[in-house]
Amino acid sequence: MIRAENISLTVGSRKILKPTTLEIPEGEFVVILGPNGAGKSTLLKMISGVQHSDTGYVSYDGTLLKEWKSNELATKRSFLLQNNTVFGDFTVKDIVEMGRFPHYSYKLSGFDNRICEEYLHTFNLSDRAGTVYNLLSGGEQQRIQFIRSLIQLEDETSTMNGKCLFLDEPLNNLDLQYQYAIMEQAKKSVVDRGGTVVCILHDFNIAFQYANRIIIVDQGEVVVNDERFMAMDTEVLSSIFNVKIESYTSPSGDLFFRTYNNESFDSIKNKINKVQSKIK
């Protein structure tokens, strides 16, 4: 379990993250939502240990984050940044293998090689293994960085208990096929095996589809932290994001969300009312 107690960050006179206390249970898929500049990435970086807090503390399973040895922590949690700049002529294989650095001293083991090959195959990137990373498309680079982050957590056991994958807007530059592939793989490889995923997203429908718990950040403050059905209140969402948000139930019973600006929403409502009046 991850616990953050009274963490905060102030830069100059601006409170990037107001004092925040929260818990993230083990084995959940947690999605963080919020407007641009709300403090989502700051919160994610703090609870992962990538960025220090001005106040308070973060602990994993009762042990303060600052007390973990860096190499041991690197096998327990991994972090995928929004932007991953790579300098030099590293190949795809080189980048993926970097995820195994915390697990070996001087050379890759048979398991290390096998897990790298398996994940490259899963994401249809085996034929890119020898390609220079910086020559690939943004979408391909994003998938490679996701693989690197994911295999950092792998070991020779069958579980991900006590491990956490942090993802900061992992769906950037990806088409729909790979957006869902990333989410499915995070769920399958981590959450379904007892680990935790904490992920920043912008798409309400993908968030609702995969999350057990949703955290909403607004103006540097956690305003919602609840299971997904309770968290995705359309009135609250509309107020936070300053657009009209409605939820609908499909014929198959699935819930989905749609956004409108006020003008288009009113126009659509009027059209629906006219059609309904004619039917009556």
End-to-end CA gap in the chain = 55
Q: What is the pLDDT of residue 254?
A: 85
Domains of the chain: 2-242 (3.40.50.300), 244-280 (no CATH)
Q: What is the pLDDT of residue 96?
A: 96
Q: What is the pLDDT of residue 266?
A: 55
Q: What is the pLDDT of residue 64?
A: 94
pLDDT higher at 272 or 122? 122
Report yes or no: 196 and 30 within 8 Å, Cβ to Cβ. Answer: yes
pLDDT > 90 fraction of the chain, expressed in percent and rounded: 79
Confidence tier at 259 by pLDDT (50, 70, 90): confident
Checking if the pLDDT of 152 tops 90, the result is: yes
Checking if the pLDDT of 29 tops 90, the result is: yes
Mean pLDDT, rounded, for 52-71: 93
Checking if the pLDDT of 144 tops 60, the result is: yes
pLDDT higher at 225 or 1? 225
Confidence tier at 263 by pLDDT (50, 70, 90): low
Cβ-Cβ contacts under 8 Å for 16 (sequence gap 6 or more): 9, 10, 39, 42, 220
Checking if the pLDDT of 268 tops 70, the result is: no
Q: What is the pLDDT of residue 82?
A: 86
Map the chain to HEC letters.
Answer: CEEEEEEEEEECCEEEEEEEEEEECCCCEEEEECCCCCCHHHHHHHHHCCCCCCEEEEEECCEEHHHCCHHHHHHHEEEECCCCCCCCCCEHHHHHHHHHHHHCCCCCCHHHHHHHHHHHHHCCCHHHCCCEHHHCCHHHHHHHHHHHHHHCCCCCCCCCCCCEEEEECCCCCCCHHHHHHHHHHHHHHCHHHCCEEEEECCCHHHHHHHCCEEEEEECCEEEEEEEHHHHCCHHHHHHHHCCEEEEEECCCCCEEEEEECHHHHHHHHHHHHHHHHHHC
How is the beta sheet containing 55-60 ordered, strand by strand? 14-24, 2-11, 55-60, 63-64
Report yes or no: 73 and 58 within 8 Å, Cβ to Cβ. Answer: no
Checking if the pLDDT of 51 tops 80, the result is: yes
Checking if the pLDDT of 270 tops 80, the result is: no
Report yes or no: 161 and 128 within 8 Å, Cβ to Cβ. Answer: no
Checking if the pLDDT of 275 tops 70, the result is: no
Structure tokens at 72: 């041991």
pLDDT > 70 fraction of the chain, expressed in percent and rounded: 93
Distance, CA of 80 to CA of 94 (rounded, Å): 17
Supply the pTM of this predicted model: 0.90
Tell me the per-residue pLDDT of 155-195, one tens digit each, with 9 for 90 and over.
999 999 999 999 999 998 899 999 999 999 999 999 999 99
Mean pLDDT, rounded, for 219-248: 93
Confidence tier at 118 by pLDDT (50, 70, 90): very high
Checking if the pLDDT of 257 tops 80, the result is: yes
